[in-house]
Structure 1
Amino acid sequence: MSLADAACAVLVLAGAGFFLAGTVGLLRFPDTLTRLHALTKADNLGLGLVVAGLALRAGSWTDMLQLALIWLLALATAATVAQLLAGAIRQDGDGTGSDGAGGPRP
């Protein structure tokens, strides 16, 4: 196993750990805004680490560029969706995203 293989494995496993942490935050945090924050931050970092690990194994510069563009697109979409959801939650007023009775809003 070469140094590049070991670095790739470490980066991909670290990325998977951040994905797991984001999922735990999604399930454990009390309100919607903290869940959204945990999920977007951890998943973006996790994807960045996975992309960095895969870039070490990429066969060419074009493959590395494609991986980087995928990550940048995911960053942009995650930020946009998080802003839209947070704005809708702020308009809701209570931060739970429900009708107050535990069910979804109509």
Structure 2
Amino acid sequence: MTYEIIALYAVSFCLIVGAIFTLVGAIGLLKFNDSMTRLHAPTKVGTVGVGALLLASIIYNGVFNGGAIQELLIMGFLFVTAPISAHFIAKVNMHRGACDTPPELPEGEEWATFDLPAGDNALLEENTTSAN
């Protein structure tokens, strides 16, 4: 077996895995009922699916077209930005009260996302009252 045939099998495998993961992510995005559970489908499963599709492209271009750097850049950007955007979406949902509150911490401690400086608390209250 030559390396071209092995590469075609690897590309086929990555395409199938990527398509399955992307399909599961899309179904999860449609089926989950609230924003916090819906958040996991595109950020976790979708990232793996798109990563597998990009890996298939990397393998194909590496073997048959002399290689390309664009897929590596896209994959790096995807794996760096997806967790960050998921984190910020989760924080927004927590601050808006759109999800269950986290459990109480012992000894009056505060969760880091809710532990704001006094100036920020005053600004938050001012914006909340002006919006109502």
TM-score for both structures, normalised by structure 1: 0.78
Q: Which amino acid aligns with 2:30?
A: L
Structure 1 Cα separation of the partners of residues 70 and 66 of structure 2: 10
Q: Partner residue of 1:103?
A: none
Q: Partner residue of 2:105?
A: none
Structure 1 Cα separation of the partners of residues 6 and 28 of structure 2: 33
Q: State the Cα distance separating 1:94 from its structure 2 match.
A: 2.8
Computing the radius of gyration from Cα coordinates, the structure with the larger value is 2
**What runs of 5+ residues in structure 2 fail to find an aligned partner?**
101-132
Q: State the Cα distance separating 1:3 from its structure 2 match.
A: 2.2
Which structure has the higher relative contact order (CA within 8 Å, separation 6+)? Answer: 1
Q: Partner residue of 1:88?
A: 92
Count the aligned residue pairs: 95
**What runs of 5+ residues in structure 1 fail to find an aligned partner?**
97-106
Matched, 1:60 2:66: yes
Structure 2 Cα separation of the partners of residues 95 and 23 of structure 1: 22
Percent identity for Structure 1 against Structure 2: 31
The Cα offsets for residues 51-95 of structure 1, whole Å up to 9 and x where unpaired, read as 11111111234x1x3211211101222122111111110011132
**Counterpart among 39, 45, 48 of residue 36 in structure 1:** 39
Q: Partner residue of 1:10?
A: 13
Give me the CA root mean square deviation.
Answer: 2.1
Structure 2 Cα separation of the partners of residues 6 and 49 of structure 1: 14
TM-score for both structures, normalised by structure 2: 0.64
Runs of 4+ in 1 over 2 A off after TM superposition: none
